[in-house]
Amino acid sequence: MNRGAPSVNRGSPSVNSPSVNRGSPSVNRGAPSENRGLGWSLPHLSSRILPSTCDHCCIRSSPVSTIKNVKYSIRSMQVEDIPKLHALLAENKWNMELDYLNCIFSTDPTGLLIVEDEQGNVIGHNGILKHGSHLASFGMNIVKDGYRELGIGKKLLQATMELMGDRNVGMNSLSNRVTFYEQFGWKVSSFTLSYNQGKVNLDFIKHPLAVGFELMSSDNVSFEELFSYDTEIHTVPRKRFLDFWINHKKAQSFVAVRSGKIVGYCVLRPADVGWKMYPLYADDKNVAHALFCKAVSLIPKGEDLIFTLPVENEEANKLAKGAGLVQYLSMPRLYNKWNVVMDLTRVYSVASTEYAIV
């Protein structure tokens, strides 16, 4: 995602862990007829229950918290929130296109939260995407400009942490925010992502070394085989995500096959700004380069490529450098329990900077 250059290094903020009233269930986890509020009892924050303003669900009926005259509630995300969330992210220059948000929501909406003001505006988002019962990815922590520094971010984080339960949760922090997340338990360092963007140097894609393998559209291989290749690398099966992501009408997905076996694949999709090559997985640098060239050749002239690689993969760095991309962000991946070990030599670009392991 293009989060833009973060303007302030906030260092290590001292955060007083808010005293959550754990007696009342903390988050409206989705069942529309249930009223599950946050029930915080902080001295500076008052809560009250508003009557439902909606006939068919209770998404407006969760407790409303007030901080300095800002009334807001935190609730589970609904499909209708997607365009509003998209607008909020775009306002903050996060390059998270509607199709991406739809894909995540369709994969599993149960870990996604929204902060809403009294007028029904979406003023914050954070969430987790579960990878089974023990593991999840945490991402897209945002509060609308103008509502920041009021304590909303911390309440949202706390609500998201309750959704995590006992899971091991991975996240990609901005490098200047690692200290903030450490205090909440994200102390296990994994790899570091480097977010690259730019117009591809066309000389670099002139002569791909496609020897010993064939490139083809993903339509020509079985989805099951591709799914199983992805699982080897991502380490956790994510069939729903892949189905929405790879088979989307705007996705251009290519596979490299050697002796009848998949040895790499990549997906190119239009983003709000530029094109994302998310992911590019390959067994070796020649396969990676050939897939890269194939996909890049489809990017309209003058438009940017977005390519987010693990810095630990030396060949991926060479690929991005050779292509003339510019690094904008560095994002260390942290876990709160244990590191998820994976073969990063096969990861040239990740599938999502937010809601995936890689």
Ligand X SMILES: CC(C)(COP(=O)(O)OP(=O)(O)OC[C@H]1O[C@@H](n2cnc3c(N)ncnc32)[C@H](O)[C@@H]1OP(=O)(O)O)[C@@H](O)C(=O)NCCC(=O)NCCS
Q: Does 318 bind ligand X (CB under 6 A)?
A: no
Q: Counting contacts by CB under 6 A, is residue 68 touching ligand X?
A: no
Cβ burial, residue 145 (10 Å; 0-12/13-18/19+): exposed
Q: Which of 127, 153, 170, 310 binds ligand X (CB under 6 A)?
A: 153
- What is the CB neighbour count within 10 angstroms for residue 108? 18
Among 1, 101, 174, 356, binds ligand X (CB under 6 A): 174
The answer to whether residue 89 forms part of the interface with ligand X (CB under 6 A) is: no
Interface mask toward ligand X for 267-306; x: CB under 6 A:
----------------------------------------
Q: Which string of x and - marks every residue 92-111 that binds ligand X (by CB under 6 A)?
A: x-------------------
Can you read off the two tokens belonging to residue 229?
């290749």
**CA 354, chain centre distance (Å):** 2
> Residue with CB nearest ligand X?
153
What is the nearest approach in angstroms of ligand X to the Cβ of residue 181? 7
Q: Is 83 helix (H, G, I), strand (E, B) or coil?
A: helix
143 binds ligand X (CB under 6 A): yes
- Residue 330 CB, shortest distance to ligand X, in Å, is 12
Strand-pair category, 135-143 with 122-130: antiparallel
65 near ligand X, judged by CB under 6 A: no
Torsion of CA 71, 28, 95, 5, to 10 degrees: 60
Kindly state the smallest distance separating residue 212's Cβ from ligand X, in Å: 42
Q: Judge contact between 309 and 190, C-beta under 8 A.
A: no
| H or E element, residue 349 | strand 347-349
Instruction: Rule CB under 6 A: choose which of 154, 199, 239, 258 binds ligand X.
Output: 154
Strand partners, 258: 261
Among 2, 61, 76, 173, which residue interacts with ligand X (rule: CB under 6 A)?
A: 173
How far apart are the C-alpha atoms of 248 and 245, rounded to whole Å? 6
- If we measure between CA atoms, which residue out of 84, 97, 91, 88 comes closest to residue 245? 97
Question: Which residue ranges make up the site for ligand X (CB under 6 A)?
Answer: 6, 10, 13, 92, 141-143, 148-154, 157, 173-174, 177, 180
